[in-house]
Amino acid sequence: MSRRLSVAALFEEVSARLRLSWAQEQIGGRAFIDASENRARRPTLVGYLNLIHANKVQILGREEMAYLDGLSVRSRRATLRTMLELKPAVILVTRGLAVPADLARVANQAEVALWTSPMRGYELLTYLQYHLARALAERVTLHGVFLEVYSIGVLLTGDSGSGKSELALELITRGHRLIADDATEFTLIAPDVIDGTCPELLRDCLEVRGLGVLNVRNMFGDTAVKKNKYLRLILHLSPEQDLTTADPEARLFGSVSSRTVLGVDVPQLGIPVAAGRNLAVLVEAAVRNHVLKSGGIDAAQIFVDRQAHQMRRIR
């Protein structure tokens, strides 16, 4: 889903951090920075003055101001007109430089927001790029319980009534941390990095059948919850008969597959659910094994290699 952010909302979110102020009336505050439009037009979201592929936030520092001041009156007027015809959402003047009257006038006529800041251009550029990349990134909401187990993000999935919340509660009592229950918002913040967070409405809450909604922070303390975590592993709870445990390969390597989330393949492991099984221990073991595999230690493959070596020796 394509996301967009209004200029007024962006100003409210970052103005304190970047010491921004309006150089004129809040004209252009209702304009939007749209992620899909940005991809179609090819520029970056934020950058220094560009008259070919305009950035949505055009930054004017000392060098850019010196360039404009060095132009003839006619060329300067044409340059400013070209800059505004490219329809940037914001023009940001850095280092507390005075805003030229002609720039303020054409920005006002084009209804483009004009901001100033005493900070240096690269500081504004770095922070705005990061902020807008997160705010406009692709995101999706998945059903399940998202936890931090042994420092990695683990999503517990399964059919309704499979015991996800009860398992999460037991893992929390064992020292692991809750990020989100029922609906986790996942955001693609880099080509292969998915960040998971909890919607504000559900924050710190865990719904357990028979007990209702529990506030994990109040029950277990601040260390029992976490704001966000990168998604690294999906554990799917399924009835034991649904998993092909009779398959020799599955017996050796487990029910391993992958699930595509926002275009990224995330490892998925099936956990068989049956009466009397200690699922919390199984989850912890699965996470530890995943960490070892990520480090190049695959116990199942080592076992297969040992067996093959032994058979070669016998021959």
What 3-state DSSP class applies to 97?
Answer: coil
Rounded distance between C-alpha atoms, residue 289 and residue 280, angstroms: 14
Beta strands per DSSP E along the chain: 4-6, 21-22, 32-34, 46-48, 57-60, 90-93, 113-116, 139-143, 145-149, 152-158, 177-180, 183-190, 193-197, 205-208, 212-215, 228-239, 256-261, 264-273
For residues 48 and 62, the answer to whether their CB atoms sit within 8 Å is: no
Instruction: Give the angle subtended at the CA of 242 by the CAs of 258 and 196, to the nearest 5°.
Output: 35
Decide if 143 is catalytic.
yes
DSSP 13-71: HHHHHHT-EESSS-TTTT-EEEHHHHHHH---SEEE--SSS--SEEEE-HHHHHHHHTS
* Choice among 30, 143, 174, 227 that is catalytic: 143
Decide if 182 is catalytic.
yes
Decide if 298 is catalytic.
no
Rounded distance between C-alpha atoms, residue 222 and residue 195, angstroms: 20
Neighbours of 169 (CB within 10 A): 22
* Choice among 139, 164, 177, 232 that is catalytic: 164
Rounded distance between C-alpha atoms, residue 221 and residue 205, angstroms: 13
* Choice among 19, 30, 62, 251 that is catalytic: 251
* Choice among 182, 226, 229, 236 that is catalytic: 182
Rounded distance between C-alpha atoms, residue 76 and residue 79, angstroms: 5
Helix 121-135 × helix 7-18 angle, to 10°: 130
Decide if 56 is catalytic.
no
What 3-state DSSP class applies to 9?
Answer: helix
Show which residues are catalytic.
143, 164, 182, 251
